[in-house]
Structure 1
Amino acid sequence: MSTTRQIVCGSCGRINRLPAERAAQSARCGACHQPMFTAHPIEVDEEAFSRHVASSDIPVLVDVWAPWCGPCRTMAPMFERAAQQLEPNVRLLKLNSDNAPALSSRLNISGIPTLLLMRGGREIARHSGTMDARSIVAWTESNLTRS
Protein backbone atom coordinates (compact mmCIF):
# COMPACT_ATOMS: atom_id res chain seq x y z
CA MET A 1 0.00 0.00 0.00
CA SER A 2 1.31 3.42 -0.97
CA THR A 3 1.61 6.20 1.58
CA THR A 4 0.50 9.70 0.70
CA ARG A 5 1.38 13.23 1.71
CA GLN A 6 -1.16 16.02 2.05
CA ILE A 7 -0.10 19.20 0.30
CA VAL A 8 -2.18 22.37 0.03
CA CYS A 9 -2.34 23.91 -3.44
CA GLY A 10 -0.80 27.37 -3.55
CA SER A 11 -3.24 28.50 -6.24
CA CYS A 12 -6.67 27.36 -5.07
CA GLY A 13 -6.07 26.19 -1.49
CA ARG A 14 -7.43 22.67 -2.03
CA ILE A 15 -5.80 19.84 -0.12
CA ASN A 16 -4.20 17.29 -2.43
CA ARG A 17 -3.03 13.78 -1.55
CA LEU A 18 0.22 13.03 -3.31
CA PRO A 19 1.70 9.52 -3.33
CA ALA A 20 5.01 9.53 -1.43
CA GLU A 21 6.86 8.00 -4.38
CA ARG A 22 5.66 10.72 -6.78
CA ALA A 23 7.91 13.72 -7.35
CA ALA A 24 6.22 16.72 -5.76
CA GLN A 25 8.13 19.16 -7.98
CA SER A 26 6.09 18.16 -11.04
CA ALA A 27 2.75 17.58 -9.27
CA ARG A 28 -0.38 19.48 -10.30
CA CYS A 29 -3.45 20.25 -8.23
CA GLY A 30 -6.32 17.84 -8.79
CA ALA A 31 -8.84 20.70 -8.60
CA CYS A 32 -7.33 23.64 -10.49
CA HIS A 33 -4.60 21.74 -12.40
CA GLN A 34 -1.99 24.38 -11.55
CA PRO A 35 1.52 23.28 -10.49
CA MET A 36 1.68 22.51 -6.77
CA PHE A 37 5.10 24.19 -6.52
CA THR A 38 6.36 27.17 -8.50
CA ALA A 39 9.62 27.95 -6.65
CA HIS A 40 8.01 31.19 -5.40
CA PRO A 41 6.58 32.05 -1.98
CA ILE A 42 2.81 32.24 -1.70
CA GLU A 43 1.06 35.36 -0.34
CA VAL A 44 -1.47 34.22 2.27
CA ASP A 45 -4.23 35.70 4.40
CA GLU A 46 -5.26 34.31 7.82
CA GLU A 47 -7.46 31.58 6.35
CA ALA A 48 -4.85 30.37 3.84
CA PHE A 49 -2.13 30.49 6.50
CA SER A 50 -4.22 28.29 8.80
CA ARG A 51 -5.01 25.84 6.00
CA HIS A 52 -1.36 25.45 4.97
CA VAL A 53 -0.08 25.08 8.53
CA ALA A 54 -2.81 22.69 9.71
CA SER A 55 -3.25 20.57 6.58
CA SER A 56 0.18 20.21 4.99
CA ASP A 57 2.41 17.23 5.69
CA ILE A 58 5.45 19.23 4.61
CA PRO A 59 7.08 21.93 6.77
CA VAL A 60 5.99 25.53 6.23
CA LEU A 61 8.34 28.53 6.36
CA VAL A 62 6.51 31.83 6.89
CA ASP A 63 7.92 35.31 6.30
CA VAL A 64 5.90 37.75 8.43
CA TRP A 65 6.42 41.19 6.88
CA ALA A 66 4.82 44.54 6.09
CA PRO A 67 5.06 46.71 2.95
CA TRP A 68 6.30 49.79 4.87
CA CYS A 69 9.18 47.84 6.47
CA GLY A 70 12.55 48.54 4.82
CA PRO A 71 14.28 45.39 6.13
CA CYS A 72 11.27 43.34 4.96
CA ARG A 73 11.62 44.74 1.44
CA THR A 74 15.36 44.03 1.56
CA MET A 75 14.78 40.41 2.55
CA ALA A 76 11.95 39.73 0.06
CA PRO A 77 14.22 38.78 -2.89
CA MET A 78 16.29 36.61 -0.55
CA PHE A 79 13.16 34.74 0.56
CA GLU A 80 12.23 34.35 -3.11
CA ARG A 81 15.64 32.79 -3.86
CA ALA A 82 15.34 30.51 -0.84
CA ALA A 83 12.06 29.16 -2.27
CA GLN A 84 13.93 27.97 -5.35
CA GLN A 85 16.17 25.85 -3.14
CA LEU A 86 13.73 24.68 -0.46
CA GLU A 87 10.68 23.70 -2.52
CA PRO A 88 9.15 21.11 -2.77
CA ASN A 89 10.40 19.91 0.63
CA VAL A 90 9.23 23.10 2.37
CA ARG A 91 6.28 25.38 1.52
CA LEU A 92 7.19 29.10 1.71
CA LEU A 93 4.50 31.59 2.67
CA LYS A 94 4.43 35.38 3.00
CA LEU A 95 2.08 36.84 5.60
CA ASN A 96 1.50 40.61 5.56
CA SER A 97 1.20 41.53 9.25
CA ASP A 98 -0.76 44.69 8.40
CA ASN A 99 -3.47 42.58 6.74
CA ALA A 100 -3.53 39.98 9.53
CA PRO A 101 -3.07 41.84 12.84
CA ALA A 102 -5.03 39.32 14.92
CA LEU A 103 -2.98 36.41 13.58
CA SER A 104 0.26 38.34 14.07
CA SER A 105 -0.77 38.94 17.66
CA ARG A 106 -1.62 35.25 18.21
CA LEU A 107 1.78 34.33 16.77
CA ASN A 108 3.44 36.80 19.18
CA ILE A 109 5.12 38.74 16.38
CA SER A 110 6.98 41.58 18.06
CA GLY A 111 9.21 42.66 15.18
CA ILE A 112 9.43 42.17 11.45
CA PRO A 113 10.68 40.57 9.36
CA THR A 114 10.17 37.37 11.33
CA LEU A 115 10.57 33.86 9.94
CA LEU A 116 8.49 31.08 11.46
CA LEU A 117 9.28 27.47 10.69
CA MET A 118 6.29 25.23 11.32
CA ARG A 119 5.76 21.50 11.12
CA GLY A 120 2.71 19.48 12.04
CA GLY A 121 0.76 22.61 12.95
CA ARG A 122 3.26 23.90 15.49
CA GLU A 123 6.15 26.34 15.47
CA ILE A 124 9.55 24.67 15.67
CA ALA A 125 11.82 27.69 15.11
CA ARG A 126 11.71 31.49 14.86
CA HIS A 127 14.12 34.15 13.66
CA SER A 128 13.63 37.91 13.69
CA GLY A 129 15.65 40.16 11.41
CA THR A 130 16.94 39.94 7.86
CA MET A 131 18.89 37.05 6.38
CA ASP A 132 20.31 36.38 2.95
CA ALA A 133 19.08 33.43 0.87
CA ARG A 134 21.94 31.15 1.86
CA SER A 135 21.31 31.84 5.56
CA ILE A 136 17.55 31.26 5.20
CA VAL A 137 18.17 27.88 3.59
CA ALA A 138 20.83 26.88 6.14
CA TRP A 139 18.69 28.02 9.10
CA THR A 140 15.66 26.14 7.77
CA GLU A 141 17.52 22.92 7.06
CA SER A 142 19.32 23.05 10.40
CA ASN A 143 16.09 23.49 12.35
CA LEU A 144 14.32 20.76 10.40
CA THR A 145 17.14 18.36 11.20
CA ARG A 146 16.98 19.22 14.91
CA SER A 147 13.23 18.88 15.30
Structure 2
Amino acid sequence: MSEVGVDEALKLDNQVCFAVSVANRAIISLYRPLLEPLGLTHPQYLVMLALWEDSPRSVNDLCEVLLQDAPTISPLLKRLELAGLLTRQRSSRDERRLEVELTEEGRQLKRLAPQVPAAVVKHLDMKLEELADLRAKLWEVIEATKRIP
Protein backbone atom coordinates (compact mmCIF):
# COMPACT_ATOMS: atom_id res chain seq x y z
CA MET A 1 0.00 0.00 0.00
CA SER A 2 1.42 3.40 -0.94
CA GLU A 3 1.96 6.11 1.65
CA VAL A 4 -1.11 7.98 0.33
CA GLY A 5 -3.16 4.75 0.55
CA VAL A 6 -2.05 4.17 4.15
CA ASP A 7 -2.86 7.75 5.09
CA GLU A 8 -6.35 7.42 3.54
CA ALA A 9 -6.94 4.08 5.25
CA LEU A 10 -6.08 5.63 8.62
CA LYS A 11 -8.23 8.75 8.34
CA LEU A 12 -10.76 8.94 11.15
CA ASP A 13 -13.60 9.86 8.80
CA ASN A 14 -12.89 6.76 6.69
CA GLN A 15 -13.35 4.37 9.64
CA VAL A 16 -16.53 2.29 9.67
CA CYS A 17 -16.20 1.89 13.45
CA PHE A 18 -16.19 5.68 13.90
CA ALA A 19 -19.29 6.22 11.74
CA VAL A 20 -21.17 3.41 13.49
CA SER A 21 -20.16 4.68 16.93
CA VAL A 22 -21.24 8.26 16.22
CA ALA A 23 -24.49 7.11 14.57
CA ASN A 24 -25.23 4.89 17.58
CA ARG A 25 -24.84 7.78 20.04
CA ALA A 26 -26.87 10.11 17.82
CA ILE A 27 -29.74 7.65 17.38
CA ILE A 28 -29.89 6.80 21.08
CA SER A 29 -29.91 10.50 21.98
CA LEU A 30 -32.80 10.93 19.54
CA TYR A 31 -34.74 8.20 21.38
CA ARG A 32 -34.11 9.61 24.87
CA PRO A 33 -36.79 12.35 24.88
CA LEU A 34 -39.22 10.10 22.99
CA LEU A 35 -38.94 7.36 25.60
CA GLU A 36 -39.09 9.68 28.60
CA PRO A 37 -42.93 9.86 28.61
CA LEU A 38 -42.97 6.04 28.65
CA GLY A 39 -40.57 6.04 31.61
CA LEU A 40 -38.06 3.91 29.70
CA THR A 41 -34.40 4.11 28.82
CA HIS A 42 -33.33 2.90 25.39
CA PRO A 43 -32.07 -0.50 26.66
CA GLN A 44 -35.32 -0.95 28.62
CA TYR A 45 -37.29 -0.09 25.49
CA LEU A 46 -35.51 -2.87 23.60
CA VAL A 47 -36.44 -5.35 26.34
CA MET A 48 -40.06 -4.18 26.23
CA LEU A 49 -40.15 -4.50 22.43
CA ALA A 50 -39.01 -8.12 22.77
CA LEU A 51 -41.64 -8.80 25.43
CA TRP A 52 -44.41 -7.08 23.46
CA GLU A 53 -43.62 -9.53 20.66
CA ASP A 54 -43.71 -12.56 22.94
CA SER A 55 -44.42 -12.81 26.67
CA PRO A 56 -43.61 -14.75 28.75
CA ARG A 57 -40.03 -15.38 27.71
CA SER A 58 -37.09 -16.87 29.54
CA VAL A 59 -34.14 -14.69 30.44
CA ASN A 60 -32.00 -16.88 28.16
CA ASP A 61 -34.40 -16.27 25.28
CA LEU A 62 -34.33 -12.50 25.90
CA CYS A 63 -30.52 -12.59 25.92
CA GLU A 64 -30.54 -14.44 22.61
CA VAL A 65 -33.10 -12.15 20.95
CA LEU A 66 -31.41 -8.97 22.19
CA LEU A 67 -27.89 -10.26 21.44
CA GLN A 68 -26.85 -9.51 25.03
CA ASP A 69 -25.55 -11.52 27.95
CA ALA A 70 -27.37 -12.20 31.23
CA PRO A 71 -25.26 -9.76 33.32
CA THR A 72 -26.39 -6.98 30.94
CA ILE A 73 -30.06 -7.99 30.80
CA SER A 74 -30.60 -8.85 34.48
CA PRO A 75 -30.29 -5.29 35.88
CA LEU A 76 -32.66 -4.02 33.16
CA LEU A 77 -35.22 -6.66 34.10
CA LYS A 78 -34.86 -5.80 37.78
CA ARG A 79 -35.55 -2.10 37.12
CA LEU A 80 -38.51 -2.91 34.85
CA GLU A 81 -39.88 -5.22 37.53
CA LEU A 82 -39.52 -2.48 40.17
CA ALA A 83 -41.40 -0.16 37.79
CA GLY A 84 -44.25 -2.69 37.72
CA LEU A 85 -43.91 -3.50 34.01
CA LEU A 86 -42.93 -7.16 34.31
CA THR A 87 -42.50 -10.06 36.70
CA ARG A 88 -39.68 -12.57 36.98
CA GLN A 89 -40.24 -16.01 38.42
CA ARG A 90 -38.80 -19.50 38.24
CA SER A 91 -40.53 -21.84 35.81
CA SER A 92 -42.69 -24.47 37.50
CA ARG A 93 -41.48 -26.95 34.85
CA ASP A 94 -37.77 -26.19 35.14
CA GLU A 95 -36.34 -24.46 38.23
CA ARG A 96 -33.26 -23.39 36.24
CA ARG A 97 -35.42 -21.34 33.88
CA LEU A 98 -36.30 -17.77 34.91
CA GLU A 99 -39.49 -16.60 33.19
CA VAL A 100 -40.16 -12.95 32.42
CA GLU A 101 -43.75 -11.87 31.85
CA LEU A 102 -45.37 -8.52 31.23
CA THR A 103 -47.76 -7.17 33.83
CA GLU A 104 -51.00 -5.54 32.76
CA GLU A 105 -49.24 -2.18 33.10
CA GLY A 106 -46.43 -3.42 30.86
CA ARG A 107 -48.93 -4.59 28.25
CA GLN A 108 -50.80 -1.26 28.40
CA LEU A 109 -47.58 0.71 27.85
CA LYS A 110 -47.47 -0.77 24.35
CA ARG A 111 -50.37 1.54 23.39
CA LEU A 112 -48.07 4.56 23.78
CA ALA A 113 -45.10 3.01 21.98
CA PRO A 114 -46.09 3.38 18.29
CA GLN A 115 -45.38 7.10 18.49
CA VAL A 116 -41.69 6.35 19.12
CA PRO A 117 -40.65 4.80 15.77
CA ALA A 118 -42.89 7.27 13.91
CA ALA A 119 -41.14 10.20 15.59
CA VAL A 120 -37.70 8.72 14.87
CA VAL A 121 -38.54 8.40 11.17
CA LYS A 122 -39.81 11.99 11.15
CA HIS A 123 -36.71 13.35 12.92
CA LEU A 124 -34.33 11.50 10.61
CA ASP A 125 -36.18 12.89 7.59
CA MET A 126 -35.39 9.77 5.56
CA LYS A 127 -37.63 7.63 3.42
CA LEU A 128 -38.79 4.35 4.93
CA GLU A 129 -37.06 2.49 2.10
CA GLU A 130 -33.74 4.19 2.93
CA LEU A 131 -34.08 3.23 6.58
CA ALA A 132 -35.01 -0.34 5.65
CA ASP A 133 -31.93 -0.54 3.41
CA LEU A 134 -29.74 0.86 6.19
CA ARG A 135 -31.15 -1.63 8.71
CA ALA A 136 -30.56 -4.50 6.26
CA LYS A 137 -26.95 -3.41 5.68
CA LEU A 138 -26.34 -3.14 9.41
CA TRP A 139 -27.67 -6.69 9.90
CA GLU A 140 -25.29 -7.84 7.17
CA VAL A 141 -22.43 -6.25 9.10
CA ILE A 142 -23.62 -7.87 12.34
CA GLU A 143 -23.82 -11.29 10.69
CA ALA A 144 -20.37 -10.83 9.12
CA THR A 145 -18.84 -10.06 12.53
CA LYS A 146 -20.31 -13.29 13.91
CA ARG A 147 -18.30 -15.25 11.34
CA ILE A 148 -14.99 -13.84 12.57
CA PRO A 149 -13.11 -16.45 14.64
Q: Which has the larger radius of gyration?
A: 2
Which structure shows the higher helix fraction? Answer: 2
Which structure shows the higher strand fraction? Answer: 1
Q: Same fold (TM over 0.5)?
A: no
TM-score normalised by structure 2 residue count: 0.24
- Structure number with greater CO (CA < 8 Å, separation at least 6) is 1
